[in-house]
């Protein structure tokens, strides 16, 4: 019995010099022992089934591959019981990992969670995204994230979304469905209720996992994960929160992901001067974006003072593509405040001209414009548009006179 228990728990016996503690034969014996215990799950006697369950629940995490393989071939009541046992084991293994991470002293110690390395790399690679150029003293304390230490923030993310992170460790195929389910809960929580704390740890956890290019997103997952970008509580934490370095980094990683709707990310990047917005804006303008996304993209490049993109924006001065037809969900707050009128049509060339004037500090009245500022959109769309192409041509001529080198652009 002692030998059997050692094999089940995979406790290595003393190994001769030059040999590993667990040879293939011992590994096979351990697998066989686990298999025998699983067979006892459908034994006729209740006590035998309970004894087998108790032994299986003692298995270490190193037994996970064997259990998953054996689970795949199990049937009937055995499969159901094994599924419950495996779920309980994974919860136990996950809690053990979190406890180890809490006490980790070095970067190497955090390797028990792949996401620790991912977060570290994101913080190192996106230093320009982490702190705004016009940063003010951080004063807003998140009631959920009690520290600005990335390792501790990761622990709180793991505790907020254990099912998601456990699946990423043990059953990656389940990650998309869990992301979809948890993102629906996040969407419901983004109601702007000032009397309730914002679920920051959950939002960041979903962004971290979903920003990875190999993570498949189902149905409404991406739209739901972008919902915090609309919530005033989250926006306030990103602006002046003590954890804003981590928040800005993970938002940047999320909005850089190709294939997600660009509306909310662009508006968010304009308001918070998030450098990652440039990548999103260029992707929209170069990749066939349409409607309000085109307007947001131009305003984002202007808000980020992206002077290297002046030549590119200049090539859009002849595009008659509609850049503002009617406000979409991402701009409802602006509409509610009366910042967007339904009058003038805005074409891409109108938005590009307004962005170029901002970048080159050309006074609006010099080209016949009266641009009105907007906190979220830089300029109100109704003050950027034009009533006719004749007006547009006049504005362009005045702009070219003010910036002669623009006429030389292709």
SS3 label, residue 409: coil
For the chain, domain boundaries:
115-260, 277-410
Percent of the chain with pLDDT over 90: 47
For residue 347, the cross-strand partners are 322
Q: What is the mean pLDDT of the chain?
A: 82
Is pLDDT at 129 greater than 80 in this prediction? no
Which is higher by pLDDT, 404 or 297? 297
Please, what's the largest Cα pairwise distance for the chain?
93
The C-alpha atoms of residue 137 and residue 193 are separated, in whole angstroms, by 25
pLDDT of residue 30: 60
Q: What is the pLDDT of residues 169-204, one digit of tens each?
A: 888 999 999 999 999 999 999 998 888 889 999 999
- The CA-to-CA distance between both ends of the chain, in Å, stands at 82
The CA distance from 175 to 215, in Å, is 8
Segment 78-123, tens digit of pLDDT? 888 888 888 899 899 999 899 888 888 777 777 888 888 888 888 8
Min mean pLDDT across 66-70, 201-205, 253-257, 300-304 is at 66-70
User: Does residue 14 surpass a pLDDT of 50?
Assistant: no
CB atoms within 10 A of CB 95: 14
DSSP one-letter string for 10-64: TPPPP--TTS-SS-HHHHHHHHHHHHHHHHGGG-SSHHHHHHHHHHHTT--GGGH
Q: Does residue 32 carry a pLDDT above 90?
A: no
């Amino acid at each position: 019995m002692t030998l059997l228990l050692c094999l089940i728990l995979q406790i290595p016996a003393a190994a001769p010099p030059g040999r590993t503690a667990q040879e293939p034969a011992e590994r096979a014996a351990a697998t066989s022992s686990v298999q025998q215990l699983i067979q006892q799950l459908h034994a006729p006697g209740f006590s035998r089934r309970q004894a087998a369950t108790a032994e299986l629940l003692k298995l270490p995490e190193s037994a996970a591959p064997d259990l998953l393989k054996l689970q795949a071939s199990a049937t009937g009541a055995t499969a159901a019981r094994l599924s419950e046992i495996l779920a309980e084991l994974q919860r136990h293994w996950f809690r053990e990992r979190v406890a180890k991470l809490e006490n980790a002293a070095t970067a190497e110690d955090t390797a028990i969670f792949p996401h620790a390395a991912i977060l570290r790399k994101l913080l190192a690679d996106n230093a320009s995204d982490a702190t705004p150029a016009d940063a003010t003293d951080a004063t807003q304390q998140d009631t959920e994230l009690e520290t600005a230490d990335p390792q501790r923030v990761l622990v709180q993310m793991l505790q907020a979304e254990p099912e998601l992170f456990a699946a990423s460790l043990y059953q990656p195929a389940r990650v998309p469905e869990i992301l979809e389910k948890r993102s629906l809960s996040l969407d419901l929580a983004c109601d702007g209720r000032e009397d309730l704390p914002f679920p920051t740890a959950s939002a960041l956890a979903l962004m971290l996992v979903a920003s990875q290019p190999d993570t498949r997103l189902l149905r409404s997952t991406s739209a739901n994960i972008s919902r915090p970008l609309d919530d005033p509580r989250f926006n306030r934490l990103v602006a002046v929160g003590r954890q804003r370095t981590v928040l800005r980094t993970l938002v940047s990683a999320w909005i850089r992901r190709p294939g997600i709707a660009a509306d909310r990310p662009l508006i968010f990047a304009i308001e918070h001067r998030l450098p990652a917005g440039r990548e999103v804006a260029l992707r929209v303008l170069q990749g066939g974006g349409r409607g309000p996304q085109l307007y947001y993209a131009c305003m984002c490049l202007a808000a980020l003072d992206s002077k290297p993109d002046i030549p590119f924006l200049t090539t859009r001065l002849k595009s008659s593509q509609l850049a503002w037809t009617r406000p979409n969900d991402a701009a409802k707050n602006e509409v509610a405040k009366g910042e967007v009128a339904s009058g003038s049509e805005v074409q891409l060339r109108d938005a590009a001209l307004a962005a170029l004037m901002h970048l080159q500090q050309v006074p609006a009245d010099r080209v016949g414009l009266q641009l009105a500022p907007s906190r979220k959109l830089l300029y109100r769309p109704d003050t950027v548009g034009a009533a006719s192409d004749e007006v547009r041509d006049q504005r362009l001529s005045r702009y070219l006179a003010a910036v002669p080198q623009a006429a030389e652009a292709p």
